[in-house]
Structure 1
Amino acid sequence: MLDVLIRKLESRDDLSRSQREAILNLPCEHRTARPGDLIVKEGERQTTSLMLICGFAGRFALLGNGGRQFTELAVPGDFMDLHSLVMKRLDHSVLAISDCNMATIPHRALRELIARDPHLGRLFWLETVVDAAIHRVWLVGLGRQDAQARMAHLFCETQTRLDAVGLADQDGFDFPLSQAELADVLGLSAVHVNRTLMSLRSAGLMEWRDGRVTIGDWKRMVQTAEFEPLYLRLWKEPV
């Protein structure tokens, strides 16, 4: 169940056989969610952390006027709420965007594993550091990039993150969001999202059809997005 987590961790540092076994032996329960299900509710006390096995989910905040802003997308291999290990209560909620399979891991088991193996503890810490880096990059995009660059950046980021866990290829990747959800990720209106998609498509940069994104010209897409994947920390180096 936790193989995808191991693939993700090993994209950043080597794991020994005993470390892989320790992760696979973590006590966990299988949980599923349907699109639109609330996975984690803002303010509720958490005693477990959820690791996404398959599907897409999103962290989001609601405004008083009913508006919604996604602050990060979770892809397979991601902990959706690892920071609840120390925060206990979260200041945001997590929503299933597609059908999701998840592993629920007790905080007690995570604390015991980290105490036994500081190297794994540092790798889990790195997971939360990368989460914060993604938030910073999204903040810059929302504040300073135009719609076309913002959308191109999201697609470049998603392709890169999915590729790290073997779920993207040269032809593209599955992207099960609706246009309304994409609007809430990018901070745009649905009309503006549709117009921006048409602009990227007419430029030959990408296609989004039947829940799958195909990037037609990666080099130009990266240039349009000003995408620099340093913040994702996807190279191997001891932590």
Structure 2
Amino acid sequence: MDLLASNPLILKLEQFTRLSFEEKQLLNVAASEGVRQIGPRGDIIREGDRPQTLNIVLSGWACRYKHLEDGRRQIISLVLPGDFCDSHVFVLRQMDHSIGSLTPVTYAQLPRRRVEEMTAKHPRLSQAFLWDALVNAAIQREWTVSLGQRHALERMAHLMCEIFLRLRGVGQTEGNSCDLPLTQAGMADAMGLSVVHVNRTLQELRAMKLIVLKGRTLTIPDIAALQDAAQFNPNYLHLDAEGRHLDAND
């Protein structure tokens, strides 16, 4: 497969605007330099660290999280293939949260200077990076709504709809199935539920035939039905090429 067509970062940004061949080549080269790998349950960057690079997840799943003093963890958001760990992290003196791996993760580290050069010389990339940051903020707002207002079944169904659509946008789904490597403990940390409640809710979704979960594979037989159960509106993901007026001609 064409590397430019399969690079998850390129696929992610082209949900906003069509990039030029030169811009895609630039991103592809950037994503192939400074490549690092980390096993599951490791930290890409820790709270308190001074951020020096922009990290891009190329494969695997990571998450942003906070730890309380007594060891309890809250997963703040999921970082999937094609995602920047934090696109504007350089403005921070130190990290106020950690980014950890949920699975084996391959990621690229872009030095600050490289990012600044890319965005200065290519305004379309600058706009795409800004779109990505705004989508992340929108996802954070939606997670806040889930924690505050959605009951457990809606909360879990909503998360599964979001994961599926985000993965589909970067070519990580097969038909109506996708990878779901989150453990029940991880789901609990993300949704503010106990592990027992997560297990019970999964069984309820299965009984309603809204999901099929076998090992690490999630299948959604009817995405519209799951969206209805979740009261899911995908508008916050901004997947309709809002930057089409910036599209490259080549």
Q: Normalising by the residue count of structure 1, what TM-score does the alignment of the two structures yield?
A: 0.96
State the match for 1:114 in structure 2.
119
Distance in 2, Cα, partners of 1:139 & 1:33: 29
Distance in 2, Cα, partners of 1:165 & 1:44: 30
- Which structure 2 segments of 5+ residues have no match? none
Maintained 8 Å contact 2:19/2:124: no
| Equivalent residue runs for 1:1-239 within 5 Å | 3-26=7-30, 28-238=33-243
Q: Write the letter of the residue equivalent to 1:131.
A: N
CA offsets per residue over residues 119-143 of structure 1, 9 Å max, x none?
Answer: 2111101111111111000001001
Tell which deviates more after alignment, 150-159 or 99-108: 99-108
Distance in 1, Cα, partners of 2:44 & 2:198: 26
**What is the root-mean-square deviation of aligned Cα atoms in Å?**
1.4
Deviation at 1:6, TM superposition (A): 0.8
Deviation at 1:88, TM superposition (A): 4.2
Distance in 2, Cα, partners of 1:59 & 1:83: 15
**Alignment coverage as a number of residue pairs:** 239
CA offsets per residue over residues 14-67 of structure 1, 9 Å max, x none?
Answer: 111121122223373110111100111012101101101110100001112211
Deviation at 1:106, TM superposition (A): 0.7
Distance in 2, Cα, partners of 1:232 & 1:152: 16
Q: Write the letter of the residue equivalent to 1:55.
A: G
Percent identity between the aligned chains? Answer: 38
Structure 1 runs (4+) greater than 4 angstroms displaced: none
Maintained 8 Å contact 1:173/1:212: yes
Maintained 8 Å contact 2:75/2:190: yes
Maintained 8 Å contact 2:61/2:105: yes
Deviation at 1:13, TM superposition (A): 0.5
Maintained 8 Å contact 1:28/1:106: no
- Which structure 1 segments of 5+ residues have no match? none
Deviation at 1:107, TM superposition (A): 1.1
Q: Normalising by the residue count of structure 2, what TM-score does the alignment of the two structures yield?
A: 0.92
Deviation at 1:12, TM superposition (A): 1.4
